[in-house]
Every structure is written in structure tokens, then in C-alpha cells.
Amino acid sequence: MNRPLRFCMITTFYPPYHFGGDAMHIYRVSNALARRGHTVDVICDQDAYHLLHPGPPSGDFPNEPGVTLHALKTGFGFLSALATQQTGRPFFKARKIRAIMKEHPPDVIHFNNISLVGGPGVLFLGDAVKLYTTHEHWLVCPMHVLWKYGREACDKQECFRCQIAGRRPPQLWRHTGLMKRALKQVDMFLSPSQFTLTRHTEWGGLDIPIRQLPYYYHPPVEAGGKAGDGRDAAEKSPEPLGLPHPRPYFLIVGRLEKIKGIQNVLPIFRKYSDADLLIAGEGEYGETLREMGEGIEGVRFLGRMSQAELTRLYAGAIASIVPSICYEVFGIIILESFAQKTPVIAHHFGVLPEVIEQGGGGMTYRDERELIDAMRTIQTDPDRRRELGERGYESYLKYWSEDAHLDQYLGIVDELLEVRRSKA
């Protein structure tokens, strides 16, 4: 890469107007690009955020000087998001997006979660190298997460009935050629995992240019560090932070949603008394989970935690448990655990075995017995735990650190720019 580039990130959610891991990934990448001398315009959708969260956003998410956030607010409120959801086009937001691109012509347009910021119609906007990251399965699933009828992972598409069951307005534009035409506007699709890549191509039937580019993670830096900057922390082996809990404990981190499978782990701790279970996160399924956890002495719900607090929790845990029963696109929780030399015990489902196998820093389970066996093995064999922790940490540095990700990312960008130059 011989010159600084201008990037335009287009996404429905971006901190502080966000809810989950995909927005945090975009935040990290945008600020990492700025630290490397590039300029980044981020376009996100305030209307979509407030549709799901009426109050003001929380949290402090400073951006590097090279990052400019354009949080679109149309004045039409929820109608703006509904119009995009129903038409598959930017509708009320198109003029503002065009104006930003005209004022700041990008070299690269990177589309992320576009479901409410513009739908497939937003892919037609702009004249630059275009990337699209499959942070979820929205291209092949109107419900985004391949979770069928609100009760099980989807292996056979019945989208219309599923949308009705999920109380979502059916998207009739999906039965036109809009999606197919729009996808042809993208130069390269990026998939966080091989599993998700296959879900889009073989299972979803999409004929698109796509490569695997895993997520990355960096631990938070000490107070005074730059916005989004975790390189200094990632380059050093994590120091012991002390146990934040008086008893040995396993850790679950993530949104409290049914698809995360926490309800399948809680009953185990009625009979597993050698350690506690700490659960960090919030979500719409939280009240139900707390009711299920009543009377289980070792279960603690911690609520939403800062990234610095989570880092300390990971470092003190016997292991992290990732019990998802849905088709995750990656598993960022695994990387957060590996970065603290903490092993992971993951449900043998979807993408999770792929990440565990590549990292070598954990174990997988298929049923309750295998989960208990893995928990007991790691808790009672400190050498085994140490070995898994070291493997996970070394893999994290090799595959999933900021530098590893940015080198691959900018390599793909450079390749596509060269193709564009040669065609010109």
C-alpha cells in the first residue's frame, strides 16, 4: 500500500449506536485504519438504533482523528427503517449517503450490516472498490441469524412463514431480482469463517466472489491509550490480574438471548458444586434466565460489563463456556478468552469447532456429560489448562491479532485496486 486511502464504512449500527459484536469489529477496524494513516468515513443509522432502543446511547467510544462518524437521522423516525426493510432500498437516506460520498470521494466502500441503513439497494451507490463483510446471515435469511420459528437452527428455508412467526413484515422484494443485481456491484465479499462462507455459497446458493477473513480482537489498553488502540496490549503476554471472585468459576459472556444456549448450562450447576458460573451480559432473555437460575447457589448474573472488567474476568476464569445453539458467524468470545490465556469449552455446533480446532486452545462438547467432563478435566488438571491456554494465546497472536487482520485486509484492498487500475 503506497498511499493513504479513503475508506467509507456503511453499516446500520456503529458505537455508540450499536448492540453487538459486528459494530465493535467495524469500530476497531476503522480506528486501526486511521492509525495506519488512512481516512475513514463511517455512515450508520440513528433511526434504526432508536427503533430498537428509544433512549440515548451509552458508553464512551472515542474515534481516532482520521475517523468521521456520520450518524444519519432523517426526521422520519421508525418509518425510515421500515421503508428500507420493506423496499430493500436506502429510501429516505439515499440523498444523505450520496452527499457524503460526493463530498468525501472514497477509494474503498466497505458495506457491513446494511439491512436497515440501505438494504441491497445501497450497494448500487458510489464508484469505488466495494467490499462486503457477512457479519450475519442476512443475505440468505430475512431473520438474520438462521434461527427458525424462534426455536431451532434453520437447515431448510421456509422464510415467509418464519417471518410471520417472528412478527417481521415479509420482504416481498426478496422474490424479485433486486438482491441478485445488487450483489454484482460488490468486488469482494469477506466471511469471518469458512463455515459462514459455505452457508452463503453452498447452502444459500449465492454465486459471489468471497474469501475468508477472520475477525480479530485486541485487549483494552491502560488509561490514556488511544481510541480503539489495543496493539500495545496485544503484543505483551497478559499479566495475572487476580481473581475477581472468591471461588473458582467458569465464565459465560454474551447477549442473554435464547440462541446463545445459556439455558442448557444452568441446570448443570445444580449438581456441579466444585465451581461457580459467572454470566456477563444483558438481553431480552435475561429475565427468563434469572428465573431459571434462582436457587442455584453457584450461579451469578453480573449484567453488562466494560471491556476492561471482562478482561479481568477472563483472566481469572477456569475456562470460558460458549454454549451457542445457533449458527454464529465466528465466535469473538473465543478470541477474548484466548487473549488472556484462558481455555474455552464450546458447543460442538456450527462455526465454534472450526475456531477451537484452529486455535488449539480448548475443548468442545455435544451433550451435558461431555460438558461436565471437559469442565472437570480443565479444573482438576492445571497442566492441561496451562497447555490449552498457551496454545490459544499463541494462535490468537498468529491469526487473530490486529496486525494479522489488517495485513490481510489491506492486501485484499491493494489487490482489488490493482485490478481496477488495470481495467481502467
- Do both 300 and 329 map to the same domain? yes
Q: Are 44 and 208 in contact (CB under 8 A)?
A: no
CATH number for the domain harbouring residue 24: 3.40.50.2000
Enumerate residue ranges in the chain where pLDDT < 50. Answer: 222-242
- Do both 204 and 251 map to the same domain? no
- Do both 244 and 321 map to the same domain? yes
Strands 276-280, 299-303: parallel, antiparallel or unpaired by DSSP? parallel
Q: Let me know if residue 1 belongs to a domain.
A: no
Tally of CB atoms within 10 A around 242: 8
- Do both 12 and 81 map to the same domain? yes
CA atoms within 13 A on the CB side of 374: 26
| CA 376 distance to own-chain centroid | 30
Take residue 33 and report the three cell numbers written for it: 485504519
Q: Quick one: pLDDT at residue 242?
A: 46
- Do both 235 and 155 map to the same domain? no
Q: Let me know if residue 18 belongs to a domain.
A: yes
Q: Are 82 and 157 in contact (CB under 8 A)?
A: no
CA atoms within 13 A on the CB side of 330: 24
Q: Encode pLDDT of 98-107 as tens digits.
A: 999 999 999 9
**Which residue carries 461436565 as its cell?**
372
Domain count for the chain:
2
Q: Encode pLDDT of 377-397 as tens digits.
A: 999 999 999 999 999 999 999
CA separation for the pair 137, 414 (Å, rounded):
27
CA separation for the pair 289, 257 (Å, rounded):
9
Q: Let me know if residue 198 belongs to a domain.
A: yes
**Which residue carries 481473581 as its cell?**
243
- Do both 15 and 104 map to the same domain? yes
- Do both 164 and 178 map to the same domain? yes
Tally of CB atoms within 10 A around 354: 17
- Do both 210 and 246 map to the same domain? no
Name the strand (E) or helix (H) holding 365: strand 362-365
DSSP state of 57: -
- Do both 323 and 337 map to the same domain? yes
- Do both 166 and 18 map to the same domain? yes
Q: Quick one: pLDDT at residue 222?
A: 44
3-state secondary structure of 403: helix
**Which residue carries 486501526 as its cell?**
32
Domain span at 365 = 231-399
What pTM does this model have? 0.90
**Which residue carries 415479509 as its cell?**
170
